[in-house]
């Protein structure tokens, strides 16, 4: 029988109908040589000017395949670099080796002692710990038994830009002092003091992807509510790390690559799921709480009369509850005028412009003293800075993201690298949703399909979209045709959740 001559045909229904209409082998062979008019003929895959024979991926959580609050085999296999590598394999790409974990539970141990908990699963109403569904598990991924390299995937969950160039970041001896990352420890093998970028370069890559560079540099600040315990990385430090990484990866002039810019992380479900007005109060409780804040409100009026604050700020800071299911929480806001001289703290009620971190869902409305309804967190006890991102803190994150992206754009252009605009892609997903074959994915927690149960990292479908975005940028820059030839991830091949029963 004659072959398809490297042509791919879409429209299997038309093919089947055509086959059943053939009366003999000769008719069938003639049908293969002359496909029906409505068949879509795809060109053969062309690698363009890129060499995909030895692909290395460098980055953080998304690169590693971290999802649902953990790193586990299924998530790693669905990581966007692994999906890219499968398409590269059709264009001369070689084996893509990942530092696979021991099981699908997630979590990490050191000598049997847990340092990371197992993954999250869907509990019917929202994310819950795996063990709350299936009972206790034995986490098998131990830092004392690292996987054997060399690897092609150098994704390190939690790594900031400068961590990737830091010697000893993967040395187990540095872990207790906070100078190492447990996921980096799994990569270094017999060279524990080698930097992550050094390990990647030692693989002599012909092609690389660099993603999420700078993501954790702002994410740590965001997830801690901008309370100062995890500050945004200074621009000069970020630039130094970025230039060092890219220069090392492109030291061989024949090496090509693709780099992704940073999305606006505050549009992720981790920051948009918990709203500001989640406090239900009956009339009696509302009156009692208002009475407790009467002295504070009175002090604001004194500050207004004394010219210390204007009328707008006095109104913003005045706290008032009513009989309602949707009272706004009370928060601390360091950006308010300091009225400590009058004995007044920086309190106000939250607004729709504030963003609350996802862990607040299990904290807001709880009683600080059990059985005492007048010690409710977010009502009588204002929420501390770590629970909320004010508009000013959001602006700091947005400014840093923009500045990081400017640096990424400049170095990608100067080195001739493919640039993946992840910022625009996530903005579209957060606004109207993003189309992926027959699916529309949004950033909503659980129901959106793009963001996993931890509210930050991608689902398998989300990682597949990311992989395709890289492939599209590679096509545009290097003249390949992954998209046109059909060598891209298909939505039906990826899910949005993992069963609790995976082991």
Neighbours of 133 (CB within 10 A): 15
Task: Looking at the structure, tell me whether residues 380 and 291 fall in a common domain.
Answer: yes
Q: Are 171 and 69 in a shared domain?
A: yes
Write down the mean pLDDT value for the chain: 93
Q: How confident is the model at residue 164 (pLDDT cuts 50, 70, 90)?
A: very high
Q: Domain residues for 18?
A: 8-42
Residues 285 and 263 placed together within one structural domain of the fold: no
Percent pLDDT > 90 in the chain is: 90
Average pLDDT estimate for 185-194: 96
**Domain presence at residue 427:** yes
306 and 212 assigned to the same domain: no
Phi, psi of 161 (to 5 degrees): -55, -50
Q: Give the list of residues 6+ apart from residue 381 with CB closer than 8 angstroms, or none.
A: 330, 368, 375
Q: State how far the Cα of 457 lies from the Cα of 269, in Å rounded to an integer.
A: 9
What is the pLDDT, as a whole number, of residue 503? 87
Give the tens place of pLDDT for each residue, 410-456: 999 999 999 999 999 999 999 999 999 999 999 999 999 999 999 99
pLDDT surpasses 50 at 257: yes
In a domain, 161, yes or no: yes
Distance CA 442, CA 425 (A): 11
If asked whether residues 131 and 65 sit together in one domain, one would say yes
pLDDT bracket for residue 17 (50, 70, 90):
very low
Token pair belonging to 152? 């092609």
- Return the closest-CA partner of residue 455 out of 36, 127, 14: 127
Q: Is residue 117 part of a domain?
A: yes
Q: Is residue 364 part of a domain?
A: yes
Check whether 5 has a pLDDT greater than 50: no
Please, which residues have CB within 8 angstroms of residue 395's CB and are 6 or more apart in sequence? Answer: none
Q: What share of the chain is helix, strand, coil (3-state, %, to 5)?
A: 40, 15, 45
Question: What pLDDT is attached to residue 38?
Answer: 61
Q: What is the pLDDT of residues 199-227, one digit of tens each?
A: 999 999 999 999 999 999 999 999 999 99
**Overall number of domains in the chain:** 3
> Kind and range of the H or E element at 412?
helix 391-415
CA atoms within 13 A on the CB side of 47: 17
Whether 47 is covered by a domain: the verdict is no
Q: Give the Cα separation of 235 and 403 in Å (integer).
A: 7
Distance, CA of 392 to CA of 385 (rounded, Å) = 12
Q: Look at residue 375 and tell me if it is in a domain.
A: yes
CA geometry: angle 69, 219, 146, nearest 5 deg: 45
289 and 423 in a single domain? The answer is no
- For residue 19, the tally of other CB atoms under 10 A from its CB is 12
Rounded CA gap, 371 and 103, in Å?
A: 42
Residues 30 and 62 reside in one and the same domain: no
Q: Token match 């009989």: residue?
A: 323
In this structure, what CATH number is given to the domain that contains residue 176? Answer: 3.40.50.1110
Q: What does each C-alpha distance from 449 to 361, 461, 471 come to in angstroms?
A: 20, 7, 21
Task: Look at 79 and 33; give whichever has higher pLDDT.
Answer: 79
pLDDT average, residue stretch 97-105: 98
Q: What is the mean pLDDT of residues 401-406?
A: 98
Query: Which pLDDT belongs to residue 34?
Result: 59
Measure the CA–CA gap between 73 and 67, rounded to whole angstroms. Answer: 11
pLDDT for the residue 372 = 87
Check residue 256 and report its DSSP letter: E
In a domain? residue 87: yes
Residues 322 and 441 grouped into a single domain:
no
- How would residue 33 be classed by pLDDT, with cut points 50, 70 and 90? low
Q: Rounded mean pLDDT of 311-328?
A: 97
| Judgement on whether residues 125 and 212 belong to the same structural domain of the protein | yes
Question: How far, CA to CA in Å, does 442 sit from each of 269, 292, 458, 488?
Answer: 10, 42, 11, 21
Based on the fold, state whether residues 217 and 147 are members of the same structural domain: yes
- At CA 182, angle to CA 180 and CA 186, rounded to 5? 110
Q: Is the pLDDT of residue 22 over 50?
A: no
- On whether both 38 and 60 belong to a single domain, the answer is no
Tell me the mean pLDDT in the region 371-381.
Answer: 91
Confirm if 241 and 165 have CB atoms less than 8 A apart. yes
In a domain, 384, yes or no: yes
pLDDT at residue 27, as a whole number = 52
Determine contact, residues 336/348, Cβ cutoff 8 Å. yes
The label of the residue with tokens 């895959």 reads 45
Lowest mean per-residue pLDDT among 29-38, 94-103, 160-169, 458-467: 29-38
What residues have CB less than 8 Å from 283, skipping those under 6 apart?
322, 323
Q: Among 389, 414, 441, which residue terminates a domain? A: 389
Same domain, 202 and 249: yes
């Amino acid at each position: 029988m004659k072959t398809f001559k490297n042509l791919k045909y879409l429209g299997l229904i038309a093919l089947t109908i055509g086959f059943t209409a053939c009366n003999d082998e000769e008719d069938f062979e003639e049908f293969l040589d002359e496909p029906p008019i409505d068949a879509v003929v795809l060109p053969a895959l062309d690698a363009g000017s890129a060499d995909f024979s030895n692909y290395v991926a460098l980055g953080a959580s998304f690169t590693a395949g971290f999802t649902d609050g953990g790193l586990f085999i299924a998530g790693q296999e669905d990581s966007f670099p692994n999906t890219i590598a499968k398409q590269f394999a059709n264009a001369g790409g070689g084996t893509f080796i990942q530092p696979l974990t021991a099981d699908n539970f997630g979590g990490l141990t050191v000598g049997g002692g847990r340092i990371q908990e197992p993954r999250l699963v869907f509990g019917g109403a929202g994310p819950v710990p795996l063990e709350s569904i299936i009972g206790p598990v034995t986490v098998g991924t131990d830092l004392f038994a690292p996987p054997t390299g060399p690897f092609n995937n150098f994704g390190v969950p939690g790594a900031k830009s400068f961590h990737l160039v830091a010697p000893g970041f993967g040395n187990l001896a540095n872990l207790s002092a906070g100078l190492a990352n447990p996921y980096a420890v799994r990569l270094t093998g017999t060279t524990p003091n080698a930097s992550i970028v050094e390990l990647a370069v030692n693989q002599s890559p012909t092609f690389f992807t660099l993603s999420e560079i700078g993501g954790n540099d702002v994410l740590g600040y965001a997830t801690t509510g901008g309370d100062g315990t995890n500050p945004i990385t200074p621009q000069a430090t970020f630039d130094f790390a970025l230039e060092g990484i890219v220069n090392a990866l492109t030291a061989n002039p024949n090496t090509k690559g693709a780099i992704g810019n940073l999305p606006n992380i505050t549009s992720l479900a981790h920051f948009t799921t918990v709203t500001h007005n989640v406090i239900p109060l009956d009339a009696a409780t509302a009156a009692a709480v208002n009475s407790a804040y009467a002295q504070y409100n009175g002090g604001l009026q004194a500050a207004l009369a004394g010219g210390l604050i204007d009328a707008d700020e006095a109104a913003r800071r005045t706290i008032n509850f009513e009989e309602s299911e949707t009272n706004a929480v009370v928060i601390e806001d360091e950006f308010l005028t300091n009225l400590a001289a009058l004995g007044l703290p920086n309190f106000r009620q939250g607004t729709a412009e504030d963003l609350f971190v996802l862990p607040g869902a299990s904290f807001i409305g709880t009683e600080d003293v059990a059985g005492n309804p007048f010690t409710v967190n977010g009502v009588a006890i204002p929420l501390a800075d770590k629970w909320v991102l004010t508009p000013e803190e959001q602006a700091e994150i947005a400014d840093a993201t923009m500045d990081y992206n400017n640096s990424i754009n400049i170095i990608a252009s100067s080195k001739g690298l493919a640039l993946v605009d992840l910022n625009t892609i996530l903005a579209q997903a957060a606004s109207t949703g993003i189309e992926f074959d027959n699916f529309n994915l949004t950033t909503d927690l659980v129901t959106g399909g793009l963001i996993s149960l931890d509210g930050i990292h991608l689902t398998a479908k989300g990682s597949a979209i990311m992989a395709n975005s890289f492939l599209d940028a590679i096509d545009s820059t290097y003249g390949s045709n992954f998209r046109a030839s059909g060598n891209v991830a298909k939505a039906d091949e990826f899910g949005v959740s993992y069963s609790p029963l995976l082991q």
